[in-house]
Structures are given as structure tokens and as C-alpha cells.
């Protein structure tokens, strides 16, 4: 939105508080499990924040995000393992490679609309999945053990990590991964906020709302579709690399359907196309998942119910709901303030109708 003065300040304030809390948490003596879960939260929220650009903001029903994530993860691991380069260097190269990979997917999707994009991108992910789990050829021998190029069903391992174990010791190394993922999420989120509120974000939303009208007002659909695929890939690929380095292994399971649904539900619960949606959605879905952990049988049903409930009751997602509460509160305060309140309230009412 162009009248972002107050919103930018509000969002920056929220952001700073959240970052401060996240930086402080490891010093409060949390369990290793808690730190591990938060690290995962940062990684998933990063992926969802970029997916949201394609799916929510640009309205392209691409399911390729986990394929790009896997590409980043495997590329990082393979470069570390086969080229023997530092995982940090491999990570950056993988991020750049992910952009190219995503542009190719974007090109393949160009002539397709709506559900066909979903089908094609899902097929790409499935092909990757099958290629990995059916990879049985010996790429190299480790002693008497035969190792596959992709790691096969066992997953790709032995490519090392980001060096936090060596630096911080076996007990503290998790904090290294924690801060690295937090840093990644902060960068990815600032990036997505900047895109969503810039003319580029408006171009994406315009072409989502009405492509025919959009091109008639000077928007080049080809260019902006490729751009959104390219832009959403870098941090997604990096997230894949950080994931691989964190677990010191990456396997085909990152391409599994349940994980894809897990991340889609984050995007939907948070609110499609909304700037705060991915973080809110990832937090809510991971909390719900935590709550349902002891009831394995109903877990998948639980997600289903959550998605249905959100879509029906709160189609703008949690971020949309909060935005409404915020605007309502602001109007109450301004009304109490006196005369100038009425004008501001009218603007607020208009603001409420709009999507981010």
C-alpha cells in the first residue's frame, strides 16, 4: 500500500520486538528440543514467506516451492560432498542456482493457467522425488559400501555442516544454527515486505486480479511471472541449504506430500498474499502440530480441520483478522481522541477493505 507511513512504523516496531525476543530466547536456558523446533520454524517460515509471493501475491498456483527448497538443499550438500568446498560457499552458490532452477519452472508454467500450474509443478516435484529414491547406481565407493549420487533412499549425508559444532562445541552448536536460520528469516521477511509494498508487488497483484486488464495498463505478464519465480527462489534455496547443514543430511522426504500440505496450511492459515501471513501461519500451524503430537491418528485430520475452519471462518487468514482488529482498535482510540478522529476513522474503514 502506498499510505504505508503508519503501517511501516508499526510493522518495523513489531519486527524489532520479535527479533529481540528471538535473540534472547537461547539465553533463557530453553531445552534443546525447543531450540530445534524454533530453528525449524525459522526455516519453514522463510520458505512460506517466499512461496506467498508466488502463490498469494502473484496468484500463481505453483507447488514448486519444496522442489526449489530440495534443489537448494541437495545442491548445497552435493557441492560440499563432491567438490569439497566450504558449506557456506556451497550455500550461496546453491541459492543462486535455485534462482535459475525456478526460472526454468516459471518458463514451463507460462502458458498454463490456474490448476494446470499446480499439476505441472507438483509433477516436477514428484519426478525429483522418484529420481532420488530410485537412484541405486554406485556413484562412489566408501570402503565396501556403495554410495549413490543423490543419496538415494538413505539421504545425502557426510557433507559436513556450517562449522558450529567445531566452533561452539557439541552442547552449544544448535545455537549457531538457530541464529543462522533466524538471520535468514529476517532477511527473507524484509525482502518480502519490500516486494509486497513496492510497485512490483502491485504489478504482481494486478496481474493476479485481472491479467487482461493488467497487460492493457502496461504490465508485461511474461516478465513479471518470471520475476516472481526468480525472486521467490533465492531465500527458498538458501533455506534448503541451511536445512541440510543443520541436520547434516538431506533426503527425498523434503519432497513428500505431507510436508507440502504442512507448508500450504501455514500459508493459508496466515493469510494468502499478506505480508505478516507466513510468520503468523507458520507459528500457528507449528503450535497446533505440537499440540496434536500425542494423537498421531488424528494429526492429519487436525490439519484438514484447521484449513477448513480458516478458509470458511477467516478467509483473509490470521493476518487479515489481526489487521481488522488493529484497525478497529485504532478507530476506537482515534474516536476517543476527538474531532480529527472521524476523518481518520473513515480512512481506517477504507483501509480495512483492502488487502495488503
Partner 1 sequence: MERTASEPLLSCQGVDKYFGALAAVRDMTFDVFPGEALGIGGPNGAGKTTLFDVISGLNPATAGSITFDGRTITRATPDRTCQLGMARTFQLNAGFDTLSARENTLIAAYFGRHNRLVPGMRFDRETQRLADEAMEFVGLDEVAHEATQTLPVYHRKLLMVAGALATQPKMLLMDEPVGGLNPQEIDDVMALVRRLKERGLTIMLIEHVMRFLVRLSDRVLIMHHGEKIFEGSASGLVYDKTVVDVYLGEGSSRRLRHLLEDQPSPDEGAPGAP
Does position 213 interact with partner 1 (CB under 8 A)? The reply is yes
Q: Which of residues 215-274 bind partner 1 (CB under 8 A)?
A: 215-221
Query: Given candidates 77, 214, 240, 271, which one binds partner 1 under the rule CB under 8 A?
Result: 214
Stated as kind and residue range, the H or E segment containing 235 is helix 234-247
Q: Which of 50, 67, 44, 62 is nearest to 126 (CA)?
A: 67
Kindly indicate which of the ranges 151-159, 191-199, 244-252, 319-327 contains the residues binding partner 1, using the contact rule CB under 8 A. Answer: 191-199
Query: Smallest gap, in angstroms, from Cβ of residue 354 to partner 1?
Result: 5
Q: Which three cell numbers stand for residue 105?
A: 519452472
- Which residues, 6 or more positions from 138, have their beta carbon under 8 angstroms from its beta carbon? 146, 147, 148
Query: Given candidates 166, 172, 209, 290, which one binds partner 1 under the rule CB under 8 A?
Result: 209
d(CA 304, CA 162): 36
CA atoms within 13 A on the CB side of 161: 18
Nearer to partner 1, 241 or 317 (CB): 317
Stated as kind and residue range, the H or E segment containing 142 is strand 140-142
Query: Smallest gap, in angstroms, from Cβ of residue 121 to partner 1?
Result: 23
d(CA 231, CA 99): 7
Total binding residues toward partner 1, as defined by CB under 8 A: 28
Does position 353 interact with partner 1 (CB under 8 A)? The reply is yes
d(CA 47, CA 74): 16
Does position 1 interact with partner 1 (CB under 8 A)? The reply is yes
Does position 6 interact with partner 1 (CB under 8 A)? The reply is no
Query: Smallest gap, in angstroms, from Cβ of residue 57 to partner 1?
Result: 11
Which residues contact partner 1 (rule: CB under 8 A)?
A: 1-2, 194, 198-200, 202-203, 205-206, 209-210, 212-221, 347, 350-351, 353-355
Amino acid at each position: 500500500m502506498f499510505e504505508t507511513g503508519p503501517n511501516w512504523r508499526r510493522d518495523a516496531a513489531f519486527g524489532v520486538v520479535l527479533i529481540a525476543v528471538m535473540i534472547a530466547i537461547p539465553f533463557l536456558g530453553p531445552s534443546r528440543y525447543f531450540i530445534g523446533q524454533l530453528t525449524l520454524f525459522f526455516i519453514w517460515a522463510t520458505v512460506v514467506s517466499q512461496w506467498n509471493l508466488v502463490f498469494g501475491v502473484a496468484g500463481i498456483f505453483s507447488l514448486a516451492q519444496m522442489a526449489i527448497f530440495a534443489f537448494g538443499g541437495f545442491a548445497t550438500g552435493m557441492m560440499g560432498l563432491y567438490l569439497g568446498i566450504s558449506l557456506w560457499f556451497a550455500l550461496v552458490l546453491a541459492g543462486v542456482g535455485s534462482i535459475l532452477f525456478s526460472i526454468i519452472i516459471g518458463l514451463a508454467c507460462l502458458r498454463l493457467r490456474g490448476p494446470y500450474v499446480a499439476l505441472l509443478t507438483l509433477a516436477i516435484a514428484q519426478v525429483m522425488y522418484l529420481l532420488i529414491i530410485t537412484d541405486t547406481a554406485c556413484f562412489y565407493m566408501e570402503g565396501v559400501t556403495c554410495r549413490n549420487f543423490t543419496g538415494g533412499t538413505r539421504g545425502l549425508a557426510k557433507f559436513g555442516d556450517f562449522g558450529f559444532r567445531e566452533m561452539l562445541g557439541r552442547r552449544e552448536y544448535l545455537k549457531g544454527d538457530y541464529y543462522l536460520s533466524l538471520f535468514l528469516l529476517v532477511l527473507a521477511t524484509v525482502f518480502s515486505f519490500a516486494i509486497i509494498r513496492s510497485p512490483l508487488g502491485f504489478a504482481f497483484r494486478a496481474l493476479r486480479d485481472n491479467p487482461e486488464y493488467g497487460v492493457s495498463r502496461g504490465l508485461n505478464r511474461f516478465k513479471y511471472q518470471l520475476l516472481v519465480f526468480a525472486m521467490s527462489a533465492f531465500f527458498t534455496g538458501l533455506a534448503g541449504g541451511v536445512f541440510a547443514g543443520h541436520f547434516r543430511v538431506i533426503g527425498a522426504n523434503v519432497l513428500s506430500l505431507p510436508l507440502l500440505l504442512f507448508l500450504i496450511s501455514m500459508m493459508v492459515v496466515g493469510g494468502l498474499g499478506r505480508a505478516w501471513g507466513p510468520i503468523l501461519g507458520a507459528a500457528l500451524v507449528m503450535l497446533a502440530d505440537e499440540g496434536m503430537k500425542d494423537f498421531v491418528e488424528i494429526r492429519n485430520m487436525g490439519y484438514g480441520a484447521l484449513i477448513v475452519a480458516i478458509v470458511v471462518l477467516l478467509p483473509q487468514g490470521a493476518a487479515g483478522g489481526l489487521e481488522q482488529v488493529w484497525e478497529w482498535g485504532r478507530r476506537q482510540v482515534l474516536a476517543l481522541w476527538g474531532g480529527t478522529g472521524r476523518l481518520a476513522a473513515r480512512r481506517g474503514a477504507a483501509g480495512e477493505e483492502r488487502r495488503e
